[in-house]
Structure 1
Amino acid sequence: KKGVDAVEIADDPMFLGNLRTIADIAASKRLPSTGAKEFAEAGGLIGYGVDFAGTFRRAAYFVDRILKGTKPGDLPVEQATKFELVINRKVAKALDVSIPQQLLLRADRVME
Structure 2
Amino acid sequence: MTTNQNASGITSTLTDRYQTTIPEAVRHHLGLHKRDQLQYTIDETGQVTLHKTDVSEQDPALRPFLALLERDLTDHPERLESLDGLRTELPSLTHGAEFDLNAALGPDDE
User: Which category of TM-score, normalised to the shorter sequence, fits these structures?
Assistant: under 0.3
TM-score by length of 2: 0.27
State the TM-score, normalized to the length of structure 1: 0.27
Structure number with the bigger relative contact order (C-alpha 8 A, sep ≥ 6) is 1
